[in-house]
Structure formats: C-alpha cells, structure tokens
C-alpha cells in the first residue's frame, strides 16, 4: 500500500492532467518536442491561457521547456505518461460495454 504522502504526490500529477486542454497538449507532445507557437495554434485560447496550462504541466513535472531563438520548446519529461491514457481508454470502453449490456436487457 502506498503512503499518504505518495498518494498526495500522485494526486497532484493527476490533477495537473485533469483538464481537456492539458490532455490535448500532452497528446501533441507524445509525438516529440514542439514549439509554443505550434501548441498555441491548436487552441482558440489566447497565448496567456495556453501558457498557464503549460506552466501547470511544467510545475507537476509532466513537461519541460527550453528556449531557442524567440520560441520556447516543450517536451514530455517522462513520455510514459501517455501510457496512462491507454488505461483511461480501457476504462471508458469497459464502461460503455457494460452500459450496452444493460440496455440489451431492457
């Protein structure tokens, strides 16, 4: 069993991921490093909002950044974080499957 402290740390990381824009950013970065300009172009939000989302991910240790010229480049600090998404998808598929079985019994 994990300690309460470890559970708190895990919770902070999961909370950092718990926003649609941040999940989309992580999904983009699974392909590799990307400049802020590319990440920002994927959203209709203003630059400061996208920057705040990136900061949340950076503070949680999910992404890191480096400056090159006039642009900031971001990458996943630990790419295996995307394995978590496969597990979440499996939970979704399992839930849908159970709901379909329940509907068939009606």
Task: Domains for the chain: give ranges and CATH numbers.
Answer: 4-78 (1.10.10.10)
Mean pLDDT for all residues in the chain: 92
Lowest mean pLDDT among 1-5, 71-75, 82-86: 82-86
Cα 95 to chain centroid, rounded: 21
Q: What span, in angstroms and rounded, lies between the C-alpha atoms of 36 and 98?
A: 41
Q: What is the pLDDT of residues 12-56, one digit of tens each?
A: 999 999 999 999 999 999 999 999 999 999 999 899 999 999 999
Report the pLDDT value the prediction gives residue 85, as an integer from 0 to 100.
85
Whole-model pTM: value is 0.85
Q: Which two tokens stand for residue 46?
A: 């203003």
| Element (DSSP H or E) covering residue 35 | strand 34-35
End-to-end Cα distance, the chain: 40
User: Could you give the 3-state DSSP secondary structure of residue 51?
Assistant: helix
């Amino acid at each position: 069993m994990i300690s309460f402290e470890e559970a708190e740390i895990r919770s902070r990381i999961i909370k950092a991921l718990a926003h649609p824009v941040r999940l989309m950013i992580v999904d983009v970065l699974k392909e590799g490093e990307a400049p802020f300009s590319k990440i920002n172009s994927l959203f209709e939000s203003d630059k400061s909002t996208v920057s705040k989302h990136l900061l949340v991910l950076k503070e949680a240790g999910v992404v890191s950044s480096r400056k090159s010229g006039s642009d900031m480049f971001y990458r996943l600090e630990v790419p295996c974080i995307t394995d978590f998404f496969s597990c979440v998808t499996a939970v979704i598929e399992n839930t849908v499957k159970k709901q379909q079985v329940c509907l068939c019994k009606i």
